[in-house]
Chain A
């Protein structure tokens, strides 16, 4: 009797765990099925090479490049802000800061990551854009610069927190050996500790990029809704995620070609983040046991 009960419980728990597999399969199936139907009407060649994205206009073009360029541009700006600041914070907190300071600052920085993204969007549109317009009068009301900068602020904790953990995990003996050779803290940090923790730092950067590519509300609010193949950060653009939001807010018929465009856009986004996440997982697994 007890054995049967134990078995039933184990199977129930296993079912719960298997739900996560079902979620992944569900995502892949849903995106693929709708995308395959999309590509039966739009050639994949046009999708990848056309330089215009106008599925909601009468003259329809289905080139993903403008959405992709918008996504990559905002993400690039975000990473340019978050990487130097996040990495410096992690090195400072791990190698220089007094223990009490580190303990007080870490949760505060993590608070940055807990703020809902719609709030960051408000900040980008209402505070940062007008502020930047003071310096660049040509800056449009919607632009990738403000959206990218604010997104960068949002992902600082992702980089600083994971990198700091990696730096902290480097054995003290390496540090002491370096100090013993007469190296300063700075030399030790950049020539010994950072190389030793490089896998963890790379993982944090990949995760931050993946996060930036998938971020939705900041760009939907502050970067605009004009798909445009450009690298100019001062004009309105549209990202893949912002396009999905734009269509979802409108009244699009289920099963129509317009409806399927969001899945075609979605599968493009998913492919990027999936590759990045898998890469970071591989790196993490490969180097996990290095110092344990």
Chain B
């Protein structure tokens, strides 16, 4: 009897420990965002968004870094989206069960685990030096594209995998070729899932700091990039730069810039979740 009670008691204790652990994660998330809001929200106004960086904390703004991030985002999308989706289609629809497919799969899984700073070293040597692109927006975007490629490929595969076989069979039965089936049936049917993956990958790219520092993105840029060959800074690097300064004013700036960066990240995640939910309903 005693033993049973003891076991039930242990069970209850663990249950509360489980609730505690789960909640602590969320509480930390709240404290964390709350603290940054308190530190930074008063600093955010229109001037903060449109001002150039400056030596004085109270005159500094995020304009060049924000524009740099938008440039990086746009170019990374243009490069990584077609390549990643094409590779995903190949792996899921063409390369089934041969040796190459096995190699590609283990390779992509490994790439997904390579630390982002290593991609920075690759970009520094290949894009900045060998291809002679310099510390340009293009070199940064190419580096980040390689970084998010595994994520885009994996989510494309998952989205395509979820399309029912019956749709493909019906298309083939009507005499469509493989590519016609992919282009007219599979891609429209899996579009939501692919989009979800791409947006999540891009939200990762927006927050990346280390590889861009290695590639040579600047902490202080007094101008907005006009072409893909211009030098640039991005939001996370601007934040890092402000954090590393001792004056309190810059910490406030950093908190304010973090609010804007988190805003962008959360909105992108929100859009991704929206697409995922909308698309999941379709097949269930």
A positions within 8 Å CB-CB of B? 2, 5-6, 9-10, 12-14, 16-21, 23-24, 26-27, 30-31, 34, 84-85, 88-89, 91-93, 96-97, 105, 107-109, 111-112, 114-119, 121-123, 125-127, 153, 156-157, 160, 184-187, 189, 207, 210-211, 213-217, 220-221, 241, 244-245, 248-249, 254, 262-263, 266, 269-270, 273-274, 276-278, 280-281
| Contact status A186-B10, CB under 8 Å | yes
| Contact status A244-B90, CB under 8 Å | no
Closest B residue to A282 using CB positions: B106
Contacts of A16 in B (CB 8 A): 82-84, 86-87, 90
In the assembled complex, the CB of B168 is this many whole angstroms from the nearest CB of chain A, namely: 15
Asked if A122 meets B179 with Cβ closer than 8 Å, knowing A14-B94, A153-B25, the reply is: no
Asked if A19 meets B87 with Cβ closer than 8 Å, knowing A92-B19, A121-B243, A273-B114, the reply is: yes
| Contact status B149-A19, CB under 8 Å | yes
Closest B residue to A183 using CB positions: B7
How many chain B residues sit at the interface, stated as a range, is 35 or more
Identify which of B50-58, B158-166, B204-212 touches chain A.
Answer: B204-212
| CB within 8 Å: A-B pair count | 249
Determine chain A's interface SS by DSSP, over half rule.
Answer: helix
| Contact status A126-B107, CB under 8 Å | no
Contacts of B129 in A (CB 8 A): 254
| Contact status A24-B111, CB under 8 Å | yes
| Contact status A17-B115, CB under 8 Å | no
B18 part of interface (Cβ distance < 8 Å): yes
Contacts of B255 in A (CB 8 A): 122, 126
Complex interface bits, B2-34 against A, C-beta within 8 A gives 1, otherwise 0 = 000001101100110111011011101101100
| Contact status B113-A210, CB under 8 Å | yes
B68 part of interface (Cβ distance < 8 Å): no
| Contact status A122-B214, CB under 8 Å | no
| Contact status B22-A105, CB under 8 Å | yes
| Contact status B117-A216, CB under 8 Å | yes
B37 part of interface (Cβ distance < 8 Å): no
Instruction: Give CA–CA (A89, B94) in the complex, Å.
Output: 39
Contacts of B206 in A (CB 8 A): 116
Q: Which of A117, A123, A214 contacts B118 (CB 8 A)?
A: A214
Contacts of B113 in A (CB 8 A): 207, 210-211, 273, 276-277, 280
In the assembled complex, the CB of B121 is this many whole angstroms from the nearest CB of chain A, namely: 5
Give 3 closest A-B pairs by Cβ, nearest first.
A214-B115, A116-B207, A92-B18
B positions within 8 Å CB-CB of A? 7-8, 10-11, 14-15, 17-19, 21-22, 24-26, 28-29, 31-32, 35-36, 39, 82-84, 86-87, 89-91, 94-95, 103-104, 106-111, 113-122, 124-126, 129, 146, 149-150, 153, 177-179, 200, 203-204, 206-210, 213-214, 216, 219, 236, 239-240, 243-244, 251, 254-255, 258, 261-262, 265-266, 269, 273
Closest A residue to B19 using CB positions: A92
Instruction: Give CA–CA (A127, B37) in the complex, Å.
Output: 13
Instruction: Give CA–CA (A128, B10) in the complex, Å.
Output: 33
Most buried by B among A18, A115, A280: A115
| Contact status B207-A118, CB under 8 Å | yes
Closest A residue to B203 using CB positions: A114
Instruction: Give CA–CA (A189, B177) in the complex, Å.
Output: 50
Closest A residue to B85 using CB positions: A16
| Contact status A127-B18, CB under 8 Å | no
| Contact status B10-A266, CB under 8 Å | no
| Contact status A111-B269, CB under 8 Å | yes
Contacts of A19 in B (CB 8 A): 83, 87, 149
Contacts of A269 in B (CB 8 A): 115, 117-118
Contacts of B265 in A (CB 8 A): 114-116
Instruction: Give CA–CA (A14, B104) in the complex, Å.
Output: 10
Asked if A112 meets B25 with Cβ closer than 8 Å, knowing A6-B179, A20-B153, A96-B18, the reply is: yes
In the assembled complex, the CB of A206 is this many whole angstroms from the nearest CB of chain B, namely: 9
Contacts of B122 in A (CB 8 A): 23, 26-27, 30
In the assembled complex, the CB of B160 is this many whole angstroms from the nearest CB of chain A, namely: 12
Q: Which of A14, A89, A248 contacts B90 (CB 8 A)?
A: A14
| Contact status A13-B117, CB under 8 Å | no
Contacts of A17 in B (CB 8 A): 86-87, 90-91, 95, 104, 153
Asked if A127 meets B117 with Cβ closer than 8 Å, knowing A20-B104, A21-B107, the reply is: no
Asked if A248 meets B29 with Cβ closer than 8 Å, knowing A118-B209, A122-B243, the reply is: no
A-B contact pairs, 16 of them (CB 8 A): A2-B177, A6-B178, A13-B94, A16-B83, A16-B84, A20-B111, A88-B17, A92-B22, A118-B236, A122-B36, A126-B255, A185-B11, A185-B14, A216-B115, A241-B117, A245-B213
